[in-house]
Amino acid sequence: MARGQDELTCALVGLARAAEGKEPGRKTDELVMQACSPPDQRQLRPGTHKVAHSRVEAKRQASAAQSTATRHLFHGDADVVSLRSTLLFGLRGMAAYAWHARVLGRDDASVTDWLYKGLRAVGEEHSVDGCSASSWSWDRSTSVLALLDEANTSAFGHPVPTSVT
């Protein structure tokens, strides 16, 4: 399962690179959110194929998209790998929240843009100082939480204490 998840992550990095400077479209945004969210093992292979297909489509318009080897994700300087992992796992959580909000009818383009930016950063070489630079800022993490809260309260109302028997 870990290898499948790594392959899916690398496909997402390639898609994010191919989409840079473009408006990938709603279907691609949704694919990124769903595929970046922590997947079910049965979804890994089909998800990787869908992302690869979307990447090929985007790549027709952008020749700068390079592949990221799975070995790149978790090998190298231990501190850099740890920071890359933190970014990746944070992105996965943000993608899950953004997808849930979208299903409930709420969307924030800045959150979606940050998912693409973060995926590109996962596939780049960095030093420890580069990892902590402003390009890895987490200001969108609070935006996605506010977006999810707004989506939930608009769909289900404000939570109130309720007595149960």
Residue 25 maps to a domain: yes
Residue 152 maps to a domain: no
Residue 114 maps to a domain: yes
Residue 161 maps to a domain: no
Q: Which long-range contacts (CB under 8 A, 24 or more apart) does 50-53 make?
A: 51/8, 51/11, 51/12, 51/14, 51/15, 52/11, 52/14
User: Cβ atoms within 10 A of the Cβ of 98, count?
Assistant: 31
The per-residue pLDDT for 104 is 95
Average pLDDT over residues 108-119: 90
Helix axes 44-59, 2-19, angle to 10 degrees: 20
Q: Which range has highest mean pLDDT (4-13, 21-30, 72-81, 125-134)?
A: 21-30
The per-residue pLDDT for 63 is 41
> What percent of the chain lies above the pLDDT cut of 70?
72
Yes or no: say if 127 and 83 are a contact pair by the CB < 8 Å rule: no
Yes or no: say if 35 and 45 are a contact pair by the CB < 8 Å rule: no
- 48-68: pLDDT as tens digits: 555 555 555 555 444 444 556
In the predicted model, is pLDDT for residue 102 greater than 90?
Answer: yes
* Average pLDDT across the chain, whole number: 79
Q: How many domains does the chain have?
A: 1
- 33-52: pLDDT as tens digits: 888 886 665 554 555 555 55
50-54, 59-63, 80-84, 157-161: range with lowest mean pLDDT: 59-63
* Domain coverage including residue 43: 2-63+77-145
Q: Find, among 143, 137, 157, the residue nearest to 98 by Cα.
A: 143
This model's pTM is above 0.75: yes
Residue 153 maps to a domain: no
The per-residue pLDDT for 131 is 66
Residue 124 maps to a domain: yes
Residue 45 maps to a domain: yes
